[in-house]
Amino acid sequence: MPLSHTVHVRFYGPLRDFLPPERRGRRFPCQIKGCPAVKDTLEALGVPHVEVDVILINRVSRGFSHQLAEGDIIQVYPTGRAPGADRLIRLSPPPPALKFVVDSHLGKLVRHLRLLGFDSCYRKLFPDADIAALAARQRRIVLTRDKGLLKYRCLRWGYWVRSPDPDEQIREVAERFSLRRSARPFSLCVECNGRIEPVRKSEVAGRLPPRTRAFYRRFYRCRRCRRVYWRGSHYAKMMLFLRRLERRRAPSRGAA
């Protein structure tokens, strides 16, 4: 049987959310067998690789495939929390575009993302394997409440949404991916993810509620599903959210 060794691990910042309380904010011993890759050890401890940006082993930056040995001291950092140093190996490079695929537990989050103009794939019945394959094929970021989904080897980008509350979920995701910088509100259909475009009021008047027809002048229609939109209360709330988000202070770097 492979020999058993002891290594010592510490996780920083939001990575602590994946740990039991007694392991948060401290270095703790971990038993390993043989010489496993550090990626396998971290995921066995409950931390998905897609949330890890920098790994220091005995103060040297290493990749996921680095094999562990007896007595190694491992420090693991999320995006934006790594110590300032030269020659760090970044394991979570920025995605090429802010495109998402969202699991079936986050239907309200999808609507918020689309209202902000972010391409977001979603189905009510969406098996994990299909989500992972789509994310890998289309280079999308996975958003999920299922930690296990983020451990699929093919994934490059992903985020475990901590809060069960939809309003807090969009705040989480907006801050994690700096959505304020590239939001394009009122450009995507919240129902089907299709593009919306301006349409003459006369073309959609028969489909409008009486009060909407009386008080609104500008209308839009989805190219795909033909749903009609106007800038009502949901749009106003989302614009207020963006303004508030802009005023929030970024979290400090290097938090333990």
Shared domain check, 105 and 58: no
Shared domain check, 130 and 35: no
Shared domain check, 131 and 106: yes
Total of domains in the chain: 3
Strand partners, 229: 220
Does residue 113 fall inside a structural domain? yes
The boundaries of the domain holding residue 207 are: 193-230
Shared domain check, 106 and 215: no
pLDDT at 246: 66
Non-local (6+) Cβ contacts of 199 within 8 A are 219, 220, 221, 228
Shared domain check, 171 and 60: no
Does residue 36 fall inside a structural domain? yes
- In tens, the pLDDT along 13-36 reads 999 999 999 999 999 999 999 889
- In tens, the pLDDT along 102-148 reads 999 999 999 999 999 999 999 999 999 999 999 999 999 999 999 99
The Cβ-side half-sphere exposure at 132, using a 13 Å CA radius, reads 14
Shared domain check, 36 and 134: no
Non-local (6+) Cβ contacts of 156 within 8 A are 50, 95, 135, 136, 139
Does residue 25 fall inside a structural domain? yes
Shared domain check, 168 and 56: no
Does residue 156 fall inside a structural domain? yes
Angstrom distance (rounded) from CA 140 to CA 190: 18
User: What's the whole-model pTM score?
Assistant: 0.88
pLDDT at 167: 86
